[in-house]
Chains A and B, each alone.
Chain A
Amino acid sequence: MNAPTAARLGLVACQVCELVSRPPAAACACPRCGARLHSRKPDSIARTWALLLAAAILYVPANLEPVMITRSIFGTQRDTILSGVAYLWHSGSWPLAVLVFVASVLVPLLKLLALSYLAASTQRRSRVRQRQKTRLYRLLEFIGRWSMLDVFVVMVLVALVKMGALANIQAGPGAMWFGGVVVLTMFASMSFDPRLIWDPSGGADG
């Protein structure tokens, strides 16, 4: 039994305005909003893999290099993402430490691993747990942006702490790598097409 999908009936749903239409040619624009029509996002799996690989490479310097350099009369302190979390933990603000740890360490890692799993299992045209995989994808789309947290923290501290010799905070190279990881994983999840999860299946949920 085959589920009636737009693709099986020769129809295409617009990515932007969701209008269902029957395109007269292979490549054309949505009759309502003018966006390019694709039955599935073009080269979805290949693009997802490429962006994931790039993000995974940047993930290494993002965690090893300092994101923030503090110069004060007491000396120079270089903070990586993890040492920033440790600082919050030791200074007694453990709820914030947990928050920053989740947003900056767990979420990017979860995104890299979960999206790799989705891409790999979709590539094998797996039919298992389709509903859970769709839900996982929705979760990834929702939480991805929160990783930007640490970049904003660095920005505020850099902007505020300009006290000449007394105290001065600068952004470290890690901030750029980390921002890169967040932007690349967001692009990776945007290029993944969740409809591919369902394409191998018939009607019932596996």
Chain B
Amino acid sequence: MKHSNLIACHECDLLQREVALPPGGKAICPRCQTTLYTHSIDSIDRALALMLGAALLFVIGNVFPVVSMEIQGQRTEALVWQGAWRLHQEGETLVGVTVFLTAFLFPLLQIAGLLAILLPLRLGLTPRYLVPAFRLVEQSKPWSMVEVFMLGVLVSLVKLAHMATVVPGVGMWAFFGLIVLLAWASSTLNPHEVWARLEVSAPEPAA
């Protein structure tokens, strides 16, 4: 049995009736003041466009070196997965796996997952995989840490600048762009709207 016009605040469980918001508006819980939901304009279209850009930048950021370094003519460059692999080779497998997951695999899952969900929705299709896929994307979101990773890259650059010549690579600019697009998409995409669209298409379960 569903109550689709009721919402419960996810931080204090206060039950409220969902009201229509003006474009750009947001609803706030009167008891604990959490943002309940927002009404963003063209949520799905805009998020889809941003994710297409993010996919392109993600590929560039993982093909071209993020930074390269020179000491006395010796040059080294590093990509995210290479850094993770090197940690593993030196026996720090747990650290390597953590870095690989948070700076590569979960961001990839966010981008690929949202593309695979928003594109069919935009075309009016609702294949069966959309519901579990969107659940997975929503639940893995806190573990995608591109912005923390880039701050780490900046700190390492400053540390290295004292002993070597460090050159920011194409990958770094791609990653900066990626952070902007991901943050933008996350504030644009309204998960409630996606769930509502998925619900309309799903067959009513026998309850």
Asked if A34 and B132 make an inter-chain contact with CB atoms under 8 angstroms apart, the answer reads: yes
Interface-facing stretch out of A16-24, A46-54, A115-123: A16-24
Contact of B135 among A6, A17, A103, A205 (CB under 8 A): A17
Chain A contacts for B149, CB-based, 8 A? 148, 152
Q: Is A56 an interface residue (CB 8 A)?
A: no
A195 to B13, CA, bound (A): 6
A15 to B10, CA, bound (A): 7
Chain B contacts for A9, CB-based, 8 A? 15
For the complex, count residues of B whose C-beta is within 8 A of A. Answer: 71
- Tell me if A's interface is mostly helix, strand, loop or mixed: helix
For the complex, count residues of A whose C-beta is within 8 A of B. Answer: 73
Instruction: From known contacts A145-B142, A148-B148, infer whether A13 and B99 are also in contact, taking CB-CB under 8 Å.
Output: no
Give chain B interface residues in 29-48, CB to chain A under 8 Å.
31-34
Asked if A176 and B95 make an inter-chain contact with CB atoms under 8 angstroms apart, the answer reads: yes
Give chain B interface residues in 57-84, CB to chain A under 8 Å.
66-67, 69, 71-72, 74, 76-78, 82-84
Instruction: From known contacts A31-B205, A138-B34, infer whether A11 and B135 are also in contact, taking CB-CB under 8 Å.
Output: no
Q: Is A96 an interface residue (CB 8 A)?
A: yes
| A/B pair count, beta carbons within 8 Å | 216
Q: Is B21 an interface residue (CB 8 A)?
A: no
The 9 closest A-B pairs by CB, nearest first: A152-B152, A159-B83, A13-B8, A6-B8, A159-B78, A156-B156, A198-B12, A5-B13, A195-B13
30 A-B Cβ contacts within 8 A? A3-B31, A13-B7, A16-B135, A17-B135, A18-B10, A18-B195, A19-B199, A20-B3, A24-B1, A32-B2, A32-B198, A34-B131, A87-B159, A148-B149, A152-B99, A155-B99, A158-B83, A159-B78, A159-B82, A159-B86, A160-B78, A160-B156, A161-B160, A166-B71, A167-B71, A171-B95, A175-B95, A183-B98, A194-B32, A195-B13
